[in-house]
Amino acid sequence: MKTKLREIFAKENLTLSDIQIENFKTYAEMLVEWNEKINLTAITDDEGIAEKHFLDSVLPLTKVDVPRGTTLIDVGTGAGFPAIPMKIYRDDIEVTRLDSLNKRINFLSEVSDELGLSAKCILSRAEDGGKNPDLREKFDIATARAVAPLPVLCEYCLPFVKVGGKFLALKGPNENAEDAEKAVEILGGKICSTWNYSLPSGDNRRLIVIEKVKETPKKYPRDAGKIKKSPL
């Protein structure tokens, strides 16, 4: 795994320290071990984990300016992507991971303890967290690597972002930012940029960057059923 990590990150001109390599290796081992119990990922081979989970999670940090000390919330973090790889690569970022399943939060807490990462875990549904005054509009950046359509993701994620901050949507090549223009405007955002790039294996990715330009109206996010049934 160590050699795979160095090789794959080097293809993107990214260098990892020995400590980062060791942390990624331990994370991969824990991911595979826990995956047998709680179904965290379909990707379990060293090369796949190194590229399609770790590198894929880190690459957005090379596309967007992320100042030191940035506060970031990863919404629906699942097995910790992109939050944990981002934290391993940029330890100065203050990371919060939000997920609705307790068993995934237990896994994420174990990873943090094992790697010595200072990263918070919050057990909550996204639509509940977005209404929580301790979380609402408190973060410089929100991230999501979920499969939900972009208008749905925007309603889940933009309420967490403070005015002047950004929502980074890590998507596949077929997701169009234009499809979410109405939702973005209603929720107080503005589509800032779209980055198209490929992983070393040739898999295409699209990073959609949405800037928060005004406060999200208080009635958003709606209940999960309404968000899915009637996207903005």
Write out pLDDT tens, residues 131-162. Answer: 999 999 999 999 999 778 999 999 999 999 99
In a domain, 143, yes or no: yes
- pLDDT value for 194: 96
Number of domains in the chain: 1
**Do strands 161-171 and 204-212 pair parallel, antiparallel, or not at all (unpaired)?**
antiparallel
In a domain, 170, yes or no: yes
73 secondary structure, DSSP code: E
Q: How far is CA 91 from the centre of its chain?
A: 15
In a domain, 171, yes or no: yes
- pLDDT value for 146: 75
The CATH number for 186's domain is 3.40.50.150
Phi-psi region of 47 (alpha: psi -120 to 50; beta: other; left: phi over 0): alpha
Q: Can you list the alpha helix ranges (DSSP code H) found in the chain? A: 2-10, 18-38, 46-48, 56-58, 60-63, 83-89, 102-115, 126-129, 150-157, 181-186, 224-229
41 secondary structure, DSSP code: -
**Residues in the chain where the model's pLDDT stays below 70:** none
In a domain, 31, yes or no: no
| pTM as predicted | 0.96
52 secondary structure, DSSP code: I
In a domain, 207, yes or no: yes
In a domain, 24, yes or no: no
In a domain, 112, yes or no: yes
In a domain, 15, yes or no: no
Domain that holds residue 91: 62-229
